[in-house]
Structures are given as structure tokens and as C-alpha cells.
């Protein structure tokens, strides 16, 4: 491995440990709070059942997110960021993909 790249990797790990110990503030954070999930869904005009089906999660999972018992992580968090930015086109893309999946099955 290139020494310069390795040095950057070690520095990054050191910074990560400092953040984990509370010695350093992260440079940025992405948070989708429970109320944000509810607001995003409501902005679409969809019921919980309809929205859960479109984003392909269990209804109970969506309810847990909306009520703050759990928070979306990973791909779900990214999906909610996209929905917040452009709900119309993201929902259209999800619906198109779901229809294509049902035709292929």
C-alpha cells in the first residue's frame, strides 16, 4: 500500500476513535429523526400502509420509525434523504421498480 494513503488511513482511524471517545466533534452528521419520517410520509399523501409497501418495509417498522422507537439506518436513511429532497420523482421511481418486479415474478 502507498505510504501516503496508509498515513491518511491511520489518521482517519485516529480521528474516528477521538470522535467515539467524545474528544473531537464529527465534521458532519446526517440525522433523520422520527418526526422527519412521519413528515416525509405525510407530505406524500400516503397512508402508513401504502407508504410502507412502496418503500418495501414492514408496516411495524415504519410505525417504529414514526414513533421514535427506532431510526432508519443505512439504505433506508439514504432513501428518506432522497424522499425529502424530491418526493415526487423518488416515489415514481419506486413505484416503477415495484411494477417491474411484479411483472418479472
pTM of the model: 0.64
| pLDDT (average), residues 1-27 | 91
What's the CA gap between 67 and 70, in Å, rounded?
8
**Rg of the chain over CA atoms, in angstroms?**
19
Q: How confident is the model over 57-103, as pLDDT tens digits?
A: 999 999 999 998 898 989 999 999 999 999 999 999 999 998 888 88
Residue 64, pLDDT score: 94
Full 3-state SS string of 9-20:
HHHHHHHHHHHH
Does the CA dihedral 21-25-30-31 come out positive or negative? positive
What's the CA gap between 19 and 27, in Å, rounded?
10
Mean pLDDT of the chain: 90
Question: Under a CB-based contact definition with an 8 Å cutoff, are residues 40 and 84 in contact?
Answer: yes
Amino acid at each position: 500500500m502507498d505510504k501516503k494513503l496508509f498515513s491518511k488511513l491511520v489518521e482517519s482511524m485516529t480521528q474516528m476513535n477521538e470522535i467515539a471517545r467524545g474528544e473531537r466533534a464529527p465534521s458532519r452528521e446526517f440525522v433523520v429523526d422520527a418526526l422527519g419520517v412521519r413528515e416525509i410520509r405525510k407530505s406524500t399523501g400516503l397512508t402508513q400502509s401504502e407508504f410502507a409497501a412502496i418503500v418495501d418495509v414492514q408496516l411495524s417498522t415504519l410505525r417504529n420509525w414514526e414513533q421514535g422507537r427506532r431510526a432508519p439506518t443505512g439504505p433506508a436513511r439514504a432513501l428518506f434523504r432522497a424522499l425529502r429532497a424530491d418526493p415526487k420523482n423518488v416515489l415514481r421511481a419506486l413505484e416503477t421498480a415495484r411494477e417491474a418486479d411484479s411483472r418479472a415474478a
